Amino acid sequence: MSKPVISVEHLSKYYEISHQKRGVDTFVESATAFGKGLIERIRHPFSPNRAHVDLEEFHALDDVSFEIEPGDRVGIIGRNGAGKSTLLKLLSRITEPTKGRIVMRGRVACLLEVGTGFHPELSGRENIYLNGAILGMKRSEVKAKFDEIVEFSGVEKFLDTPVKRYSSGMYVRLAFAVAAHLEPEILLIDEVLAVGDSEFQKKCIAKMNDISRSEGRTILFISHNTSAIQSLCKTGILLKAGKLAAAGKINDVLDLYQKN
């Protein structure tokens, strides 16, 4: 048995929610608060910090642990606010965890929302290079796969048109095409299939199946679309209010999710 590609140990992410009194931070407010805290500190060096008393902690993700084997296709499910997106943000290093740690073996790329990093003024051709770089591809890699990407997206004709003149469908197809030709060992996907017509959705799922089967890539997939999850994933992880509620075969997890 090989080592897990992703192991998550006691992962937590807390956010501080401020209540009424400490509303919007302005520069003056926080400068005075900082000053007050400093004076307080000098006068009573050993008392606990009082400035943070009226802050409440919100546990977006609370003590979550799991492991993922190479080549797994894992669906992450849960209601709105269960912590799915927070988990993905932590895995993709967008935010830092409050506690716990993640060990990943392999290159990670994520597809959090299509068209991230597309610039409306640039042409389709230029955006392929830009988006590739943002997703972590080298220029030479993009160059090597350029024709494939263009063919998959089906926007050959409009390659030199600024993407701001694209229809939203064309936009999504081009964005997915770039991301689908990434070659990371671990691919994180969040809700991408929410847009695009059903034919293109099928094409995407087929492509993702293809990728993970033939090349043993690991995929983490977040979606509310249960049929998409069912056709793509083998295993599932169910999150509930920031905690791990279940993990196992995708059908069992989906059953459990739909029962509640």
Partner 1 sequence: MFLRRAGIEQERMQQNKMADGTEEHILVIEAGRTHSRYLRDLWLYRELFLILAWRDIIVRYKQTVIGITWSILRPLLGMIAFTIVFSKIANLPSDNVPYPLTVYAAMLIWQFFSNTVSIGSESLLNNSNLISKVYFPRLIIPSTSMTVSLTDFLISALVFIPLFFYYRFLPDWRIVFLPFFVFLTILVSLGMTYMISALNVKFRDFRFAIPFALQLGIYVSPVGFISSVVPGKWRLLFSLNPLAGIIDGVRWSLFGTPLYLPSLVMSIVISVLLLAGGYFIFRAMEREFADVI
Q: Under a CB-based contact definition with an 8 Å cutoff, are residues 62 and 12 in contact? A: yes
Q: Which of 108, 155, 163, 233 binds partner 1 (CB under 8 A)?
A: 108
Q: Under a CB-based contact definition with an 8 Å cutoff, are residues 126 and 139 in contact? A: no
Which backbone phi and psi does 155 adopt, to 5 degrees?
A: -120, 30
Asked if 26 is part of the footprint of partner 1 (rule: CB under 8 A), the reply reads yes
Asked if 126 is part of the footprint of partner 1 (rule: CB under 8 A), the reply reads yes
**7 CB neighbour count, 10 Å cutoff:** 15
Asked if 10 is part of the footprint of partner 1 (rule: CB under 8 A), the reply reads no
Q: List Cβ neighbours of 153 (8 Å cut-off, separation of 6 or more).
A: 170, 173, 174, 176, 177, 178
Q: Which of 17, 33, 55, 94 binds partner 1 (CB under 8 A)?
A: 94
Residue holding tokens 């409009």? 158
Asked if 65 is part of the footprint of partner 1 (rule: CB under 8 A), the reply reads no
x/- letters, 168..207, toward partner 1 (CB under 8 A): -----------------x----------------------
Q: How many whole angstroms separate alpha carbon 41 and alpha carbon 64?
A: 35
Q: Of the listed pieces 20-28, 144-152, 193-201, 241-249, which binds partner 1 according to CB under 8 A?
A: 20-28
DSSP H or E run through 122: none
Asked if 215 is part of the footprint of partner 1 (rule: CB under 8 A), the reply reads no
The strands making up 235-240's β-sheet, listed across from edge to edge, are 108-111, 186-190, 218-222, 73-77, 235-240, 243-249
Q: Which of 69, 125, 130, 202 binds partner 1 (CB under 8 A)?
A: 130
Q: How many residues does the chain have?
A: 260
Q: Which of 92, 161, 225, 231 binds partner 1 (CB under 8 A)?
A: 92
CB of 19 to partner 1, least distance (A): 17
Strand ranges in 127-192 using DSSP code E only, listed in sequence order: 186-190
Asked if 235 is part of the footprint of partner 1 (rule: CB under 8 A), the reply reads no
**Chain positions contacting partner 1, by CB under 8 A:** 15, 25-27, 30, 89-108, 110, 112-113, 116-117, 119, 121-122, 126, 129-130, 133-135, 138-139, 185
